[in-house]
Amino acid sequence: MKQGTTIITLDNGYHLWTNTQGEGDIHLLALHGGPGGNHEYWEDTAQQLKKQGLNVQVHMYDQLGSWYSDQPDYSDKAIADKYLTYDYFLDEVEEVRQKLGLDNFYLIGQSWGGALVQMYAAKYGQHLKGAIVSSMVDNIDEYVTHVNQVREDLLPADAIAYMKDCEAKGNYDDAKYQGYVDVLNDNYVDRKKPAAISHLISTMATPVYNAFQGDNEFVITGKLKEWEFEPHLKDIKVPTLLTFGEHETMPSATARRMQKEIPHARLETTPEGGHHHMIDNAPVYYSHLAKFITDVENNTFND
């Protein structure tokens, strides 16, 4: 399979940026978070797995609206209504799989990408060897309860009151408010910030992010308010790895429940990791991932 970058044309006419790294007969398709984020924290995945003694071809792409891929005009309501939906992004994964020629492969997704993995494994699981859900729960209400608690644990009462006042007024651009968001991000989202993925401008596709999430990771004002996948966990039949950071925006109690409800699931936690624990503690994160893939490949996977 071709290494490096390939631009694929979707049936809808839009173009997606894709990239393949690594060698071997094992294939892993990586889905980024956001929604509206990009592929960058998966760029060294093939190298990290090779350090663990595992040769894997890692395929990544920027979802529609994100970074290197086409940017629809989401200010056009008809376009937004058509493409800013769960169903669109789920079926986009399947179309990318087809156009890259993947089958009998592993699917990994972080945060929003982890929601797509859950949906894909339940609907298109016949194409998968295994599914990896990284830092994503099946129930948004439990997430909201948890992120409210972690910010109350971290910030003083006056800061919490200020944030809540800004949120009630929709005043998300307030500099002081955004300063508190930065503190929260430093502790629970991006605990380690490698220079290699820093940018002079934001790479977030804000129209996509705002439509689903809201202004930041600690408020949910978009479509993700309705995220509830627990009734469908039983439909995920493939071996599944759930991986969460020790210091995480996603609640570990929910992760433990998911591990029990998905028929064949293993749960791993990355010490000193936040929401992006593949960066915060790469050696441990990728040792968990390599062990999972190896166990599935050797038919020795157990819960």
Q: How confident is the model at residue 173 (pLDDT cuts 50, 70, 90)?
A: very high
pLDDT level of residue 195 (50, 70, 90 thresholds): confident
Enumerate the H helices of 38-190 as residue ranges.
45-51, 77-83, 86-100, 112-124, 140-154, 157-169, 175-188
Rg for the chain (alpha carbons), in Å? 19
The alpha carbon dihedral of 185, 45, 42, 254 has a sign of negative
Q: Which residues pair with 57 in a beta bridge?
A: 27
Smallest CA-to-CA distance from 58 within 46, 41, 44 is with: 46
- 261-284 pLDDT, tens digit each: 999 999 999 999 999 999 999 999
Strand partners, 178: none
State the pLDDT at residue 114. Answer: 98
Q: What are phi and psi of 72, to 5 degrees?
A: -60, 160
Residue closest to 36 by CA, chosen among 65, 12, 68: 65
Give dist(CA 265, CA 257) in Å, integer.
Answer: 11
Give the pLDDT confidence of 86-124 residue by residue, as tens digits.
999 999 999 999 999 999 999 999 999 999 999 999 999
- Sequence-distant (≥ 6) Cβ neighbours of residue 255 within 8 angstroms: 137, 242, 244, 267
Whether residue 239 contacts residue 121, with contact meaning beta carbons closer than 8 Å, is answered with no
pLDDT tier at 234 (50, 70, 90 boundaries)?
A: very high
Q: How confident is the model at residue 181 (pLDDT cuts 50, 70, 90)?
A: very high
Q: 124 burial class (0-12, 13-18, 19+ CB within 10 angstroms)?
A: middle
Tokens 């644990």 belong to residue: 153
Asked if 33 contacts 45 with a C-beta cutoff of 8 angstroms, the reply is no
- State yes or no: pLDDT of 171 exceeds 90: yes
Mean pLDDT of all residues in 156-168: 96
Asked whether 156 and 128 are in contact (CB, 8 A), the reply is: no
In angstroms, how far is CA 165 from the centroid of its own chain? 29
Q: How confident is the model at residue 75 (pLDDT cuts 50, 70, 90)?
A: very high
